[in-house]
A and B are shown apart, each in its own frame.
Chain A
Amino acid sequence: MLDDTDRRILRHFQAAPEATSTHLAELCGLTASNCWRRLERMEEKGIILGQEIVIDWQALGYSVEVSLRITLDKTQPRAFDEFLAAARTVPEVLEIQTFLGRVDTRLSVIARDMPHYQQVYRDRILTLPHIADIEALMHVARIKTDEVLPV
């Protein structure tokens, strides 16, 4: 479905999402119209979904980030749905993931400082439904963040 040229475009585009299609064509060694046509086709096929901005929450004063790995009480048939629906309403929750493995779900939670984190944790997280167990991982540093797919 994709040829090597498409993949080359995706590699360069992932590294420089802000590039204009003219600049991207130059990086890939293609004519602008050829590059544009290929981008257009990959968007139509739903391979390129769009772009998002990455917000630096530290710059906005949120210095604490915690990964909460949560095991749910699976004797409750609606445990996943109800837990996820409630977790979505907590503003400090940035990411919700579900897993196959020892952990059922993971929330990425930010807070301004430790007292604020404690408040969010007590008032908004521990009150979420059907939690059986929670483990916390405190973020120290991000080493690699680009989330590039090795196409």
Chain B
Amino acid sequence: MIELDDTDRAILRHLAGDARLSAGVIGKRIGLSQPQTWRRINRLMESGVIRKRRLLLDRDKLGFGVTVFLGVKLATKGRVSLEDFERAVSAIPEVQTVEHVLGLYDYRLRVVARDIPDFERILRRRIMTLPGAGGVEANVLLSEERLGGPIG
């Protein structure tokens, strides 16, 4: 775990607003030289605080009208290896994220589809046929917002 100072936090806030801002532009806004800002951004990336960058695309315009979150319960715990399930589910292109969770479900999946019939096809042919997949609960995403988090 690394400690951030106020300058690091200011840099993170600016990058969270737009990841493409250059070190020069951010530096100007917070009163730091370009090389100093660049060194700090580099440190934030090397220490893993900034895990990666992500391209933001308009799902609807690309024809993905439906996003569904699936809670998946494994049917036969202990008999199916988690690794097998994880490998198989991660290989499905429409499955955007896979999270291992504790609680009502074992896995939480984010799935994109063109429309509801397309989602049904993915669910029946790809998800329900996974090794060990048991109960599934689907919730269709209506809206989503990501917040900055406790950067401070």
Contact = CB atoms under 8 A, between A and B. Distances in A.
Interface string A58-98: 11111000010000000000000000000010011111111
B81 interface: no
Interface in B23-55: 47-55
Contact of A51 (B53, B69, B104, B112): B53
Contacts, number: 194
**Which of B62, B64, B138, B151 is packed against the most chain A CB atoms within 10 Å?**
B62
B97 A147 contact: yes
Contacts of B149: 55, 57, 91-92, 94, 110
Interface residues of B, number: 61
B18 A51 contact: yes
A132 interface: no
Given A50-B19, A95-B145, A59 B97 contact: no
B6 interface: no
A120 to B, nearest CB: 10
B47 A59 contact: yes
Given A60-B1, A151-B62, 6 more contacts: A14-B57, A17-B53, A48-B58, A96-B145, A139-B101, A148-B96
